């Protein structure tokens, strides 16, 4: 399968614990995005990378959240000291950005986080 | 601020019939892209159709077509000959820059 993959698919944790999610984009894609999706809502942008550089972060991304893409390939999203409000589906997407004209994003299956 | 509004939380359609999903957006950008994504139950989102704002011609992909009204900032999706596999959440999205802005979605159920 050459699509976007995410691991784990489900994570249950206790409040206050740290969690880390991984996203493997489509191999030739230079951009990688993280979104959060809560029940009944559309995905909300968190951050994106172009290669290894983190170019933009949403105000939704509090200090407890950190994302990395160290070699411009896979990315990790870490949430420290989880809170119940962090429970959501975390989606990763990747795209091949060549210029402003075309930026189709391909989504992974998501990681569903439940904070007890 | 960029906003995307989908005013129909739920819709249903008989198999083989036609249904139209509504979307309005707000942007100050002169050039942008609009998308419809489909999210089947427990499956990942996939792109249904996209429209470049500078193109006046409405995009079409097989049974899916859009009605793009730039002045009204309206971007509706028409699904013709609805099939059971079309049952899903449908999200409208705009990308005026580097971010995607999504609406809250329309849950479409195709009834046999």
Owner of token pair 């119940």: A84
Is residue B4 a contact partner of residue B36, using CB atoms and an 8 Å limit? no
pLDDT tens by residue, chain A, 116 residues: 579 999 999 999 999 999 999 999 999 899 999 999 998 889 999 999 999 999 989 888 889 999 999 988 999 999 999 999 999 999 999 998 876 666 788 999 999 999 99
**Cβ contacts of A41 on chain B, cutoff 8 Å:** 104-105
CB contact under 8 A, B47 and A104: yes
Per-residue pLDDT at B31: 80
CB contact under 8 A, A45 and B101: yes
CB contact under 8 A, A42 and B31: no
For residue A99, which of A26, A31, A24, A4 has the smallest C-alpha distance?
A: A31
Q: Who contacts B12 (Cβ-Cβ below 8 Å, separation ≥6)?
A: B108, B109, B110, B111
CB contact under 8 A, B31 and A48: no
What does the pLDDT look like over A88-113, one tens digit per residue?
A: 999 999 998 876 666 788 999 999 99
Distance between CA atoms of B67 and B60, rounded to whole angstroms? Answer: 10
**Cβ contacts of B45 on chain A, cutoff 8 Å:** 43, 91, 107
Q: How confident is the model at residue B35 (pLDDT cuts 50, 70, 90)?
A: very high
What does the pLDDT look like over B46-66, one tens digit per residue?
A: 999 999 888 889 999 999 999
Q: Is A56 helix (H, G, I), strand (E, B) or coil?
A: strand
CB contact under 8 A, A40 and B93: no
**Cβ contacts of A40 on chain B, cutoff 8 Å:** 104-105
Residue A86 or residue B29, greater confidence: A86
CA B81 to chain A, closest CA, distance in angstroms equals: 26
What is the SS3 assignment for A1-14? CCCCEEECCEEEEC
Of chain A, the percentage scoring pLDDT greater than 90 comes to 77
Nearest to B103 among A33, A42, A91 (CB): A42
Distance between CA atoms of A38 and A50, rounded to whole angstroms? Answer: 25
Give the pairing type, strands B88-95 and B33-39.
antiparallel
Distance between CA atoms of B83 and A39, rounded to whole angstroms? Answer: 25
What does the pLDDT look like over B61-85, one tens digit per residue?
A: 999 999 999 999 999 999 999 999 9
Of chain B, the percentage scoring pLDDT greater than 90 comes to 75
Q: How confident is the model at residue B100 (pLDDT cuts 50, 70, 90)?
A: confident
Task: List, as one string, the DSSP characters of B55-83.
Answer: --SPPEETTEEEEEETTTTEEEEEE-S--
The mean predicted confidence, pLDDT, of chain B is 92
Per-residue pLDDT at B55: 86
Nearest to A42 among B33, B50, B105 (CB): B105
**Cβ contacts of A108 on chain B, cutoff 8 Å:** 44
């Amino acid at each position: 399968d050459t699509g976007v993959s995410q691991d784990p698919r489900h994570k249950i944790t206790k409040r206050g614990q740290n969690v880390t999610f991984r996203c493997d984009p489509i191999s030739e894609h230079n951009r990688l995005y993280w979104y959060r999706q809560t029940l009944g809502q559309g995905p909300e942008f968190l951050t994106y990378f172009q290669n290894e550089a983190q170019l933009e972060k949403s105000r939704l991304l509090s200090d407890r959240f950190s994302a990395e893409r160290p070699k411009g390939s896979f990315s990790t999203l870490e949430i420290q000291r989880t809170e119940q409000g962090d429970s959501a589906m975390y989606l990763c997407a990747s795209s091949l950005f060549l210029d402003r004209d075309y930026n189709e994003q391909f989504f992974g299956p998501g990681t569903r986080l439940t904070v007890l | 601020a960029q906003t995307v509004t989908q005013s129909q939380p739920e819709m249903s359609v008989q198999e083989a019939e036609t249904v139209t999903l509504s979307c309005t957006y707000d942007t100050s950008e002169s050039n942008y892209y609009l998308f419809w994504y489909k999210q089947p139950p427990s499956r990942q989102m996939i792109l249904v159709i996209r429209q470049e704002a500078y193109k006046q011609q409405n995009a079409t992909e097989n049974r899916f077509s859009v009605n793009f009204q730039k002045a009204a900032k309206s971007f509706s999706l028409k699904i013709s000959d609805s099939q059971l596999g079309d049952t899903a959440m449908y999200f409208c999205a705009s990308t005026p820059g580097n971010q995607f802005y999504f609406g809250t979605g329309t849950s479409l159920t195709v009834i046999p």
